[in-house]
């Protein structure tokens, strides 16, 4: 997995979705021995993702391919040999590793709530996180309110898909995962202890 530090904030996640089934198809194409160019061609010509337009296929491929390229061979093999819940976590982790703001949200809101024994994240908690970040960062202070709304929706959507949260009315119940031991060891070995703690909500 790419271990480069992401030193800037981005709202790019608001254009993404978990796309788990699509990501699994992409991984399968690579595992069949195809090159990136061949995978891209298959995705477009055969509409592997089932998108309505070619433009959408291309943009989705670009996002998913970036996730895949952030994974090393060990993590790809782990993905291919894991159960559904672990595969969803790996897909989730690949996204978080490329998004500084998302990681900070997991660490400073999700993990903190879990440690303190809260059972849910409220919308007010999410809004407070963004307000604080806007005070700390000129970059975020320049974002429009609609941008924050879309990023917030993306964060919760990804977390719901990875089973870190469950929706209950306007609240998001905390459901920290019990991580597969192989994935846990992989993260520890590759210097991702902080990410492991953020995702599982432990000290």
Contacts of 178 (CB under 8 A, 6+ apart): 200
Percent of the chain with pLDDT over 90: 96
CA distance 144 to 150: 10
Q: How confident is the model at residue 6 (pLDDT cuts 50, 70, 90)?
A: low
Q: Quick one: pLDDT at residue 69?
A: 95
pTM for the full model? 0.94
Q: What confidence tens digit (pLDDT) does each residue in 128-180 have?
A: 999 999 999 999 999 999 999 999 999 999 999 999 999 999 899 999 999 99
Q: What confidence tens digit (pLDDT) does each residue in 76-87 have?
A: 999 999 999 999
Q: Does residue 44 carry a pLDDT above 70?
A: yes
CA distance 116 to 142: 32
Q: What confidence tens digit (pLDDT) does each residue in 90-109 have?
A: 999 999 999 999 999 999 99
- Helices and strands in the chain, H and E counts: 12, 3
CA distance 98 to 13: 10
CA distance 77 to 81: 6
Q: Which long-range contacts (CB under 8 A, 24 or more apart) does 167-172 make?
A: 168/120, 170/122, 170/123, 171/120, 171/121, 171/122, 171/123, 172/120, 172/121, 172/122
Q: Does residue 114 carry a pLDDT above 90?
A: yes
Torsion (CA) 107, 94, 57, 157 in degrees, nearest 10: -30
Cβ(101)–Cβ(9) below 8 Å: yes
Q: How many CB atoms lie within 10 A of CB 50?
A: 11
Encoded tokens for 32: 């069949």
Q: Does residue 17 carry a pLDDT above 80?
A: yes
Cβ(113)–Cβ(200) below 8 Å: no
């Amino acid at each position: 997995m790419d271990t480069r530090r992401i030193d800037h904030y981005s709202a790019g996640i608001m254009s993404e979705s978990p796309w788990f089934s699509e990501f699994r198809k992409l991984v399968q194409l690579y595992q069949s021995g195809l090159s990136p160019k061949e995978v891209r061609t298959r995705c477009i010509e055969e509409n592997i993702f089932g998108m309505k337009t070619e433009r959408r296929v291309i943009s989705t491929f670009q996002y998913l391919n970036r996730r895949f390229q952030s994974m090393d061979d060990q993590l790809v093999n782990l993905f291919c040999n894991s159960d559904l819940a672990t595969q969803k976590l790996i897909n989730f982790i690949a996204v978080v590793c490329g998004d500084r703001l998302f990681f900070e949200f997991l660490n400073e809101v999700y993990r903190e709530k879990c440690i303190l024994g809260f059972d849910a994240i409220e919308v007010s908690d999410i809004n407070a996180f963004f307000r604080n970040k806007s005070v700390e960062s000129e970059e975020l202070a320049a974002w429009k309110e609609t941008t924050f709304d879309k990023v917030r929706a993306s964060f919760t959507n990804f977390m719901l898909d990875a089973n870190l949260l469950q929706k209950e009315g306007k609240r998001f119940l905390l459901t920290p995962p019990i991580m597969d031991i192989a994935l846990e060891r992989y993260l520890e070995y590759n210097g991702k202890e902080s990410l492991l703690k953020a995702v599982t909500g432990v000290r």
